[in-house]
Amino acid sequence: MDTLLSGLFLLARLDVCVALLIGSVGGVIIGAIPGVGPAVAIAILLPATFAMEPLVGLTMLLGIYGSSMFGGALPAILINTPGTAVNALTTYDGHPMTRNGQALRALGLAYGASFMGGIISIVALILLSPVLAKIAPMFGSREIFLAAMLGILLVVIAHRGQTFAAGMLAGLGIFLGTIGLEPVKYTQRFTFGQEWLTSGIDLIVVVLGLFAISQAFILLNDPESAPDARRIEGRMFKAMCEVFRFKRIASAGAGFGVLMGMIPGVGEFTAQFLSYTYAQKTSKTPEMFGKGSPEGLVASEAANNAVPAAAMIPLLALGIPGEALTAMMLSVFYVHNVIPGPGLFQNKLDFVYALYIAMILLNVIVVVFVLFSSNLLVRIIRIPTRFLGIMVLTLSFVGVYSLRNSATDCAISAGFGILGLILKRQNLPIVPIILGMVLGGIMEVKLRSAMARVTTPLDFVDRPISALIATAIVLLIVFHFWGVWKERRLKEPEFSHDHDVHDSQMR
């Protein structure tokens, strides 16, 4: 209880409260604008947060991360266009409800389910913190090296159907992280005598290029559009309260969100899919799913808003980000010399609690904001995409230049912007590059540290936690290849049948 009060005391500062308010409200607005999303916003804001204290910067970024999904539900429901990628499933039932004249009810259920999902996940994390504080000291350099390796493996395997491409892009990220001076003897690697490569390629420069500048290129290239949406009439609070009729579905969705959020590389999409499937299987009206089912809407929104809080567990406990947004937040920790990992739970548990309380507060702020601002947000949906593109491009280059006052960084970032544009056009994942850069660096440092303590490769797995993680890695690889082999076997008869039919037709 004393630690909880200390965390509350850390938050009771004007600059932290203002940052939380700006992040929460800004996240809703950014989420409501189709084509921007939290990744772009966080990438643009990252350079600015480096000048702030860690708690101030992180509460602002957490506010954007956690509240953008509230805002993303608005265009998903009203104009069938998700504000953020994770609101795509919301369109399945949210927009049909709007077409049936139930826009207010759909928005109320989405906001209510998001709030319930967020609060349940944060309470679960607060209850888990003492356990994490006991387990965290058991993680040494070997365990963190293996955990980082497991994280990369999960990220690659999570891109089902694109596993090879995701693996190659993760490898590119690891390679990018090795450019410059190596961290022990400070010898140059892959600089080819070029002075501008000596200090390496900054993660933020890559993040801004891949996420923000590439998105600006897309907004500028795509046909101009300014979606139209009607005003919302009625009492939003009453509509939000209806979510308690679906508390079983919302609680289950939050549970899936917590579980999936804790696993690096899995995230919102898997949580939503499991939650939606569970709701459909247990519903008395499964035929309504996809046609305007309130249960489907609640299941999807509760799950996606439970993930951000859970995704902080591997970040805070092990220093391992589960996806791109937490990887960006990790850079804020490093800039301020606050190292996430086992030591954070041992030495700065009040800081961790402060972040949890901030997440509860952001959910409350967002609910109050959306109660009174839905019609204001409807106007924001109508902002022309070309104008947004110019704004994002300008802010991105200002952010990159402000990092080191370097025009070279702007050129590198533009190059990664073009790479991001190509990857997005080809529907290839960007996230493995970022996680490869972050986790590759962690793996290198921890491997070097571990090598001083081991004499044989078996020493890596002679402790309970490391043995458990190594077993998980082996099982994951075996099950993945087993799944690929089974899929190919199932396709072979179809192929043979098609081949026979083709041969008979040729004959």
Question: How far apart, in whole angstroms, are the C-alpha atoms of residue 343 and residue 464?
Answer: 19
Q: Is 396 exposed, middle or buried (0-12, 13-18, 19+ CB in 10 A)?
A: buried
Q: Is 60 exceeded by the pLDDT of residue 497?
A: no
pLDDT of residue 264: 67
Sign, CA torsion 442/445/446/448: positive
At residue 46 the predicted structure's pLDDT band, cuts being 50, 70 and 90, is: confident
Region of poorest pLDDT, from 50-54, 148-152, 334-338:
334-338
Q: Is 60 exceeded by the pLDDT of residue 93?
A: yes
CB-based contacts of 28, cutoff 8 Å, min separation 6: 67, 68, 70, 71, 366, 369, 370, 373, 377
Q: Which residues pair with 188 in a beta bridge?
A: 181
In SS3 terms, 380-405 reads as HHCCCHHHHHHHHHHHHHHHHHHHHC
**Per-residue pLDDT reduced to its tens digit, 298-340:** 998 888 888 888 888 778 877 777 777 777 777 777 776 777 7
Q: Which residue has the higher pLDDT, 415 or 280?
A: 415
Q: Is 60 exceeded by the pLDDT of residue 494?
A: no
DSSP state string for 439-474: HHHHHHHHHHHHHTT-SSGGGGGSSHHHHHHHHHHH
**What does the pLDDT average to over 209-217?**
86
For residues 438 and 321, is the Cβ–Cβ distance under 8 A? yes
**Per-residue pLDDT reduced to its tens digit, 368-408:** 888 888 777 777 777 787 888 888 888 888 888 877 788 88
Query: What pTM value is reported for the model?
Result: 0.77
Q: Is 80 exceeded by the pLDDT of residue 88?
A: no
Q: Is 404 exposed, middle or buried (0-12, 13-18, 19+ CB in 10 A)?
A: middle
CB-hemisphere CA count at 13 Å for 80?
9
**Per-residue pLDDT reduced to its tens digit, 418-458:** 999 999 889 888 888 988 888 888 888 888 888 887 788 78
- Token digits of residue 160: 């089902």
For residues 222 and 381, is the Cβ–Cβ distance under 8 A? no
Which of 73, 76, 83 shows the shortest CA–CA distance to 111? 73
Q: Is 90 exceeded by the pLDDT of residue 162?
A: no
Question: How far apart, in whole angstroms, are the C-alpha atoms of residue 386 and residue 35?
Answer: 11
At residue 266 the predicted structure's pLDDT band, cuts being 50, 70 and 90, is: low
Q: Which amino acid is at 323?
A: E
pLDDT > 70: percent of the chain: 92
For residues 61 and 22, is the Cβ–Cβ distance under 8 A? no
Q: Is 80 exceeded by the pLDDT of residue 206?
A: yes
pLDDT of residue 1: 67
Angle between helix axes 349-381 and 54-78 (nearest 10 degrees) is: 40
- Token digits of residue 166: 């995701």
At residue 289 the predicted structure's pLDDT band, cuts being 50, 70 and 90, is: confident
Distance of CA 266 to the CA centre of its chain: 9
pLDDT > 90: percent of the chain: 7
Q: Is 80 exceeded by the pLDDT of residue 213?
A: yes
pLDDT of residue 417: 92
Which of 86, 61, 133 shows the shortest CA–CA distance to 353? 133
**What does the pLDDT average to over 113-140?**
81
pLDDT of residue 267: 66
**What does the pLDDT average to over 77-87?**
74
pLDDT of residue 506: 42
Which of 442, 423, 425, 443 shows the shortest CA–CA distance to 433? 423
**Per-residue pLDDT reduced to its tens digit, 346-364:** 777 788 888 888 888 888 9
- The values of phi and psi at residue 189, to 5°, are -130, 130
Q: Is 70 exceeded by the pLDDT of residue 505?
A: no
pLDDT of residue 193: 82
Region of poorest pLDDT, from 89-98, 100-109, 249-258, 327-336:
327-336
